């Protein structure tokens, strides 16, 4: 029986964060693919009764939930390349930026892709503002973590990959090479790292899923729209 | 050897209070700068340019922002009276529940404050569900941290401070001694702790403040 299990989903950036971290540390694990849209397994609901989400890491029978919490747990439990720095102030900076990414950037960027009209314009403006702040932190650094990828880089995965696919499908222009040269450089370096490259969902598969969702959203919006006499 | 330790806070901010509690438990000397959020100081904006909020801890010129981040910084920098558990799994649980408190629990309590009638009834039911989940984490312990106040007690401290204020304003009980006995006892134990007690903001001022928040939010909803 595997000592380490990961309940995840092939398309989820949160799930992929954990796979990167485990692989970085050289930890052997069993991956359990969850069908998060249609039917979550009884085990997932047992191990994450509060949020009922992936990822969930199961270590010696004990579940750990929330990707950011899991990342810190992995860093504290296994030897190998550090995910967080050692210095308390540097660690505080990492935790600050991770919060910024998940609580500010991700929601705004996600909203910018999936909303319409005024709501979308507002989300695009917010996303742009947040990305500008992130761009500013990259001065003179190859990665957010310095010379090698760290927790901030791992957590920023949705920017480098998922968002780039989504913004094109949504027909919006937010993150461009011209407006964000440093982020663009970071994305190239990041997506070139073997540990990142080898742990991304297939672009075609992800595109197909997103396209289907865009169509479903459009159909629902049309059905909800008042009929014209 | 004098270390520079400054805390930017407001008189009422529950997030700032977390840092006050942590600093006091660790027995640290620090300078307090009270901010008026309607007119933020140049220093605050310099130290927290991204979020422009309190609390901000400045230690030897370096600024740390976000209360839970500050708690971990304090615990990692000053080793006396540890706040977080040592065991990685226990630590992960504490971090998970602190996040839950700040996300699901606090928004459900907020919804109770700013609603009325049927909507408020539903909000109360949701909030009580979340409070039950928190109570389950106490088990037989006096504090979430065990015998002593720890990180999770400090993270949940706002419930001990503000829920009774909310109950007074809406004239309804959220934390019923019968339905949530362990949580009820914890709130009392936490509030009675000498270190915590001396830091509580003035109750009457808090009632006025939250009453005003409720009224302005209800007015906004009615005018939509």
Mutating which of B52, B92, B102, B108 best tests the A interface, going by the most A Cβ atoms within 10 A?
A: B92
Answer whether residue B1 shows pLDDT above 60.
no
How many beta carbons lie within 10 A of that of residue B89, not counting itself? 16
Mean pLDDT on A74-100: 98
Chain B contacts in chain A segment 58-87 (CB below 8 A): 59, 62, 64-66, 68-70, 72-73, 76-77
Chain B residues touching A135 at Cβ < 8 A = none
Nearest CA in chain B to A58: B89
Q: Considering CB atoms only, which of B69, B96, B100 is closest to A99?
A: B69
- Cβ distance of B59 and A76 shorter than 8 Å: no
pLDDT of residue B224: 62
Banded pLDDT at A140 (limits 50, 70, 90): confident
> What tens digit of pLDDT does each residue of B90-134 get?
999 999 999 999 999 999 999 999 999 999 999 999 999 999 999
Q: Considering CB atoms only, which of B73, B77, B96 is closest to A69?
A: B96
Is the ipTM value over 0.90, yes or no? yes
Q: What gap in Å lies between CA B140 and CA B138, rounded to an integer?
A: 6
Min Cα separation B151/chain A (Å): 15
How many beta carbons lie within 10 A of that of residue A97, not counting itself? 22
Min Cα separation A205/chain B (Å): 32
> What tens digit of pLDDT does each residue of B130-174 get?
999 999 999 889 999 999 999 999 999 999 999 999 999 999 999
Min Cα separation B202/chain A (Å): 31
Share above pLDDT 90 across residues of chain B, in percent, rounded to a whole number: 95
pLDDT of residue B219: 79
| Higher pLDDT among residues A2 and A190, named by residue | A190
Min Cα separation B180/chain A (Å): 18
Answer whether residue B57 shows pLDDT above 70.
yes
Chain A residues touching B64 at Cβ < 8 A = 89, 92, 96
DSSP string, chain B: ----EEEEE-SS-HHHHHHHHHHHHTT---EEEE--TTS--HHHHHH-TTT--S-EEEETTEEEESHHHHHHHHHHH--SS--S-SSHHHHHHHHHHHHHIIIIIHHHHHHHHT--HHHHHHHHHHHHHHHHHHHHHHTT-SBTTBSS--HHHHHHHHHHHHHHHHHHHHT--SS-TTTSHHHHHHHHHHHHSHHHHTTPPPHHHHHHHHHHHHHHHHHHHHT-
Bridging pattern class, strands B62-65 and B56-59: antiparallel
How many beta carbons lie within 10 A of that of residue B171, not counting itself? 6
Share above pLDDT 70 across residues of chain B, in percent, rounded to a whole number: 97
Question: Sheet harboring B56-59: ordered strands across?
Answer: B31-34, B5-9, B56-59, B62-65
pLDDT of residue A229: 53
How far is CA B117 from its chain centroid?
A: 27
Answer whether residue B222 shows pLDDT above 80.
no
Residue B141: CA atoms inside 13 Å, Cβ hemisphere, count?
17
Is A53 an interface residue toward B (CB < 8 Å)? no
Answer whether residue A52 shows pLDDT above 70.
yes
pLDDT of residue A221: 82
For residue A221, give the H/E element and its range. Answer: helix A203-224
User: Which 8-state DSSP code applies to residue A150?
Assistant: -
Min Cα separation B73/chain A (Å): 6
Chain A residues touching B91 at Cβ < 8 A = 72-73, 76
> What tens digit of pLDDT does each residue of A172-219 get?
999 999 999 999 999 999 999 999 999 999 999 999 999 999 999 888
Chain B contacts in chain A segment 94-133 (CB below 8 A): 95-96, 99-100, 133
Selection from A27, A44, A26 nearest residue A35 by Cα: A44
* Average pLDDT for chain B: 95
Mean pLDDT on A27-44: 94
> What residues contact A16, with CB distance under 8 A and at least 6 apart?
A8, A157, A199, A200, A201
Selection from B42, B49, B19 nearest residue B32 by Cα: B19
Answer whether residue A1 shows pLDDT above 60.
no
3-state secondary structure of A63: strand
Angle at alpha carbon of residue A71, lines to A180 and A131, rounded to 5°: 15
- Cβ distance of B72 and A92 shorter than 8 Å: yes
């Amino acid at each position: 029986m595997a000592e380490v299990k990961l309940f995840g989903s092939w398309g989820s950036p949160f799930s992929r964060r954990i796979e990167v971290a485990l692989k970085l540390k050289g930890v052997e694990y069993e991956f359990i693919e969850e069908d998060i849209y249609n039917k979550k397994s009884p085990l997932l609901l047992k191990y994450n009764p509060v949020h009922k989400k992936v990822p969930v890491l199961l270590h010696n029978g004990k579940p750990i939930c929330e990707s950011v919490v899991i990342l810190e747990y992995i860093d504290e439990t296994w030897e190998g390349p550090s995910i967080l720095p050692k210095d308390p102030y540097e660690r505080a900076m990492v935790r600050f930026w991770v919060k910024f990414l998940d609580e500010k950037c991700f929601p705004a960027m996600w909203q910018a892709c999936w909303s319409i009209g005024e709501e979308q314009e507002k989300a695009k403006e917010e996303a742009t503002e947040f990305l500008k702040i992130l761009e500013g932190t990259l001065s003179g650094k190859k990665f957010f973590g310095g010379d090698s990828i760290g927790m901030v880089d791992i957590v920023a995965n949705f920017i480098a990959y998922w968002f780039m696919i989504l913004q094109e499908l949504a027909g919006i222009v937010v993150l461009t090479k011209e407006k964000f040269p440093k982020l663009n450089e970071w994305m190239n370096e990041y997506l070139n790292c073997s540990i990142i490259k080898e742990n991304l969902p297939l672009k075609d598969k992800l595109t197909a899923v997103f396209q289907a969702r865009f169509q479903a959203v459009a159909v629902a919006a049309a059905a909800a729209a008042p009929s014209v006499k | 050897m004098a270390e520079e330790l400054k805390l930017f806070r407001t008189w009422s901010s529950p997030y700032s209070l977390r840092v006050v509690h942590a600093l006091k438990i660790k027995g640290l000397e620090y300078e307090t700068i009270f901010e008026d959020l309607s007119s933020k100081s140049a220093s605050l904006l310099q130290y927290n340019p991204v979020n422009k909020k309190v609390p901000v801890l400045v230690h030897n010129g370096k600024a740390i922002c976000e209360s839970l981040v500050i708690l971990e910084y304090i615990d990692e920098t000053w080793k006396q009276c540890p706040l977080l558990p040592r065991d990685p799994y226990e630590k992960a649980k504490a971090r998970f529940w602190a996040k839950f408190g700040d996300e699901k629990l606090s928004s459900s309590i907020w919804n109770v404050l700013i609603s009325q009638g049927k909507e408020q009834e539903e909000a109360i039911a949701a909030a009580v569900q979340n409070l039950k989940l928190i109570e389950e984490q106490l088990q037989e312990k006096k504090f979430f941290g065990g015998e002593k106040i720890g990180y999770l007690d400090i993270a949940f401290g706002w419930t001990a401070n503000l829920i009774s204020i909310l109950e007074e304003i809406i004239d309804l009980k959220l934390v019923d001694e019968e339905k949530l006995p362990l949580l009820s006892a914890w709130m009392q134990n936490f509030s009675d702790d000498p270190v915590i007690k001396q830091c509580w903001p003035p109750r009457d001022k808090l009632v006025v403040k939250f009453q005003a928040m409720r009224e302005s939010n209800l007015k906004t909803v009615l005018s939509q």
